[in-house]
A and B are shown apart, each in its own frame.
Chain A
Amino acid sequence: MVSLDFAAVLEQWPLLVQGIGATIWLVALAATLGGFLGIACAWARTWGPKPLAWLAAGYVESIRNTPFIVQLFVIFFGLPSAGVRLSPEWASALAMVINLGAYAGEIVRAGVEATPRGQVEAGLSLALTPGQVFRRVVVPPALARVWPAMVSQIVIVMLGSAVCGQISARELSYFANLIQSRNFRAFEAYLVATAGYLVLAIALRRLLLWVGPRFLFGTVWRG
């Protein structure tokens, strides 16, 4: 019979709060910049000039076929030899942006490719530039089409950020690890972290599903 002592973990709540805050910061950055990167990739692969399309395809495939933790290590341990030294937190953020950008690129591309030809022609016949057609006519409905998949991917990336503790980025799992190393309550510490991720994931999913249609591609998209 295990005796659980959650109090020993919860009394370290300032660390837990800091960790949750950092995880939220990481996912907010990744979702925003990674989202834009994904749209840019989708553009390059569908509407872009050939060289750009190849470049985007290379990027997407190399990210989608390698483990996130290796990408993280390349950025954190590899880049310094190229003269770029990032803090663990910024290295984590960059890795997450690059990772999400690749997956988002594929997701958005599916939405873009499902655009009826007539939508594009209507935009062109109204004297819009191809860029305006892509941004104002193609992207919003494309995002609407793939939003559930996009939201899932953002949640996956948020959960994946737990490995950023491996390079000492001070996010939720890092602090759970720190707490258990101090009080030897590993089971409780990781159960609390699990609960933290669970709540974050559910809240994030709901928030994004609510925000998308209202502010990103719904009737409010008017600019």
Chain B
Amino acid sequence: MVPAEPIVDIRGLRKRFGSNEVLRGIDLAVAPGEVVAIIGRSGSGKSTLLRCINGLESPDAGTLAIEGRPMRLDDPRAMRDLRQRVGMIFQSFNLFPHLDVGHNIMLAPGLVKGRRGAQGEARARQLLARVGLDDKFEAMPAQLSGGQQQRVAIARALAMEPQVLLCDEITSALDPELVAEVLAVVEMLASEGMTLLMVTHEMRFARKVADRVVFMHEGAIHETGPASELFTRPQTTELRQFLAALD
């Protein structure tokens, strides 16, 4: 197999908050359609890494390219262009509370892509159907369960037609019985070829869906490999301890 050109290409990425060096030189190349699960202790820099990839944090050093195009933090238009290609889903859903579900989904395509009116609505309904919420177009976010809100957030991100989706612990704020419905949507996206970088504590899910697992430790990629190997034969003591602490 000829290795495809990486869709996300991170080299030597460094980030510090004051004296706290959170990312200490990250190298990570993600192939199109690849599903990467990022695991690691609290504070190891997982969120910061994801946030750098769509420019919510600005790295101090290193390079970052999406689809071969280097990120240009100083150019707001280039950043918005990048964010159309890299969607992000958050732990706390972050639906817009004043807009109903349909308008949560249609807001950005309408403003950014000029896709308004019937066209925008048809697309929003289609996306809602994909996440299993066809009947919630008119519902307000506050009327939905956490799992439903997170599925709306996924539909909202998909509405921008991203090539890459960043998921930061998207099931961590959910009641246990609602986790499965959200993971099912993620699994569907993975099977359809979406490139996914997901920070997760759902090890069973990572094992099932991820092509590759990245274990972060103290701001660096400490160990990485296919899920089957990483979980069954961890090479470093840190990963062994991390996995042991989960059981």
Contact = CB atoms under 8 A, between A and B. Distances in A.
A127 B77 CA distance: 9
B98 A217 contact: yes
Contact of B83 (A119, A124, A136): A124
Interface of A: 116, 118-119, 121-129, 132, 136-137, 140-141, 144, 217-219, 221-222
Interface residues of B, number: 29
A126 B157 contact: yes
B58 to A, nearest CB: 13
Contacts of B97: 141
Given A126-B112, A126-B156, A129-B76, A144 B98 contact: yes
Contacts of A124: 55-56, 83
Which 4 pairs across A and B sit closest by C-beta, in order of nearness? Answer: A122-B94, A126-B108, A127-B83, A125-B88
Nearest to B100: A219
A136 B90 contact: no
Interface in B98-126: 98-100, 103, 107-108, 111-112
Contact of A127 (B80, B94, B96, B98): B80
A118 B97 CA distance: 12
Contacts of A132: 111
Contact of B112 (A116, A128, A140, A221): A128
A143 to B, nearest CB: 9
Given A121-B90, A126-B108, A137 B96 contact: yes
> What DSSP secondary structure best describes chain A's contact surface?
helix
Nearest to B85: A127
A119 B112 CA distance: 17
B56 A127 contact: no
B71 interface: no
A127 B88 contact: no
Contact of B90 (A122, A217, A221): A122
Give the residue among B80, B87, B94 with the most A Cβ atoms within 10 A.
B94
Contacts of B95: 122
Given A118-B90, A121-B90, A128 B111 contact: yes
A127 B108 contact: yes
Contacts of A141: 96-98
Which of A122, A125, A132 is most buried by chain B, counting CB atoms within 10 A of its CB? A125
